[in-house]
Structure 1
Amino acid sequence: MIESIDFTKSEQYTLSIRLSTDGFSFSIYDPFCDSKLFFKQYAVNTQRSMAANVKSFLAETEELKYKYKQTNILIHSSRYTPVPLEIFEDEQMESLFYQNLPKQNNEIVLCNILGKSNLVILFSIDKLTHQFLTDNFASTRFFSAVSPQIELLTAKSRLGNNSKLYANLHPHSIDLFCFDRGKLQLINSYPVTTTEDTCYYLLNVWKMLGYDQERDELHLTGDLSQQDSLMGELKKYIRKIFIINPQAELHSATDTPIEEVPFDIQSLLICE
């Protein structure tokens, strides 16, 4: 928990739930007082389905039983694909999605239209999970976890006259966002198990895009538990490496650190 929340006022708060195979988490945010931020994690049983884990999560978590002004659901998964906004049509969502990803049973395809980025992110969610969540919460919005990050980083990447690679590190994966002066060049997610894996994907993408070792920038966020070894290796090849400061990003009035809040949730709150 980051800051105490008065649950008698829950109907003025925003609830953001993050679903990932790494575990579930949620934040409760008071838009009228940005020092009020409640955050909690929930372990999942990897032997059970996503829907079964979500059902238990909803039943066992008291904070989710209140009414909220808005509920955001973030799906952290590699099953997403970007589509330029100018060619996007609603009726083609599934065909566009399955051109890039293998079909799976019992899932629905959703979309996020990103106005700042001129992009649409198509993503999927298990049908039963979707039903549990829509039945449980009113005013529910679904997001791919990469969507708010793209919107936030698009704006940040326009600062300066160089290219930028943003990396969000997770316990078993890494999300990469590459920009050239505000224009998204590449977005992808990769499975990783070691620091060596992380360095491999970062440096391979850096080289593939022809980024300059002296002038272009690498920004890191997320799970930085191996920060010293990671930075030590990356600094052999890239001069400008920065750690994203979540406290500064949220402009929060509280002195309580918020590093434990996933960057995709932070991005969504900033972009609201």
Structure 2
Amino acid sequence: MTNGNIDFTKSNQYTLSIRLSTDGFSFSVYNPLEECDFYFRTYSVNTQQSMAANVKAFLAQTDELKYTYRQINILIHTVRYTSVPLELFEDEQMETIYYQNFRKQNNEIVLCNVLGKSNVVVLFSIDKLTHLFLSEQFPNARFFSTISPQIEYLTSRSKLGNNNKLYANIHANSMDVFALDKGRLQLVNSYAVNNAGDCAYYLLNIWKQLTYDQEHDELHLTGDNIVYRQQLSEQLKQYLRRIFIINPQADFNTSHTARIEDIPFDIQSLLICE
């Protein structure tokens, strides 16, 4: 099967990245040897059904997932995550630490991502049945919180220059925020948002709490909610001098990657960090 630049008969050369969110699923297929080879598709979910039921249907109905891939990444978009400094992390304390931050839910499993570039461990959870369905179909898959590849990518990116940087990834109803001081993670959090004003409120409060400089420190915006992003940029211009839009596709080593713009920022970050 060939679709666009992707020849699925060569799938064992490709990386499959699946992104699961309560507002919809998506996946990308990427050839790391030929970076212009991209394939991206979204999948609508039934909000009346559980995550596990939606995942089961997604796996059954999506032919592209039935090939054998070189590598499979599964990203879970959730606000139920927490970060721990690597030097303080112990495997056997994983659930204890996690449930100090979140109320325990039935039938979930706690997973972790150890982030080598940023010296941080991200703890997150996934429904056990969802994890079972995915693990049965993809025994060698790697599971990530969507926050994890963003931290790794932005850690490297923030080392450029001599100033503090605040990053915001704006989704349909939420916003991921990262504050970094030359590669050192100061803050990571996610907020529920209903409009660009909500985004501005959180970002300006963080800016004030971290005593960032309005003239020299930087705000970087990205995300699939382009309307909020544009409105936010306009609203904040009167307060902050240096506002930028992140362009991750510039970090790919080819000029044939227009479709990368369609792919969620967390998947882009994961592919760049590989």
Instruction: Pick the TM interval, shorter chain.
Output: over 0.9
1:226 is matched with 228
Structure 2 CA distance for aligned equivalents of residues 250 and 138 of structure 1: 29
Matched, 1:28 2:29: yes
> Is this contact kept in 1: 2:216–2:242, CA < 8 A?
yes
2 CA distance for matches of 1:255 and 1:149? 19
Q: Provide the residue aligned with 2:20 in structure 1.
A: 19
What is the match of residue 72 of structure 2?
71
Name the structure 2 match of 1:103.
104
Structure 1 residue runs of 5 or longer lacking an equivalent are: none
Distance in 1 (alpha carbons) for counterparts of 2:249 and 2:159: 21
- d(CA) in 2 for partners of 1:36, 1:105: 41
Tell which deviates more after alignment, 3-12 or 49-58. 3-12
User: Structure 1 length as normaliser, TM-score?
Assistant: 0.97
How far residue 125 of structure 1 moved from its aligned partner, in angstroms, is 0.4
1:249 is aligned to 251
1:21-170 matches, cutoff 5 A: 21-170=22-171
Match of residue 207 from structure 2: 206
Tell me the secondary structure at the aligned position of residue 19 of structure 1.
strand
Using the TM superposition, give the Cα deviation of residue 3 of structure 1 relative to its aligned residue in structure 2, in angstroms: 4.3
SS in 2 for 1:268: helix
Which residue identity lines up with residue 268 of structure 1 in the other structure? L
Runs (4+) of structure 1 exceeding 4 A deviation are none
CA distance in 1 between counterparts of 2:58 and 2:44 reads 9
How far apart are 1:228 and its partner, in Å?
3.2
Question: How much does 1:255 deviate?
Answer: 5.1
State the match for 2:267 in structure 1: 265
Match of 2:194 in 1: 193
Q: How far, CA to CA, are the matches of 2:258 and 2:20 in structure 1?
A: 24
Aligned residues: 272
Give the letter aligned to residue 50 of structure 1: M
**Native 8 Å contact 1:85 1:113 kept in 2:** yes
Alpha-carbon distance in 2 for matches of 1:256, 1:231: 23
Q: Please, what is the CA RMSD of the aligned residues?
A: 1.4
Residue identity over aligned pairs, in percent, reads 65
Distance 1:254 1:119 in 2: 33
Structure 1 position 236 matched with structure 2 position 248:
no
Q: Secondary structure at the match of 2:139?
A: coil
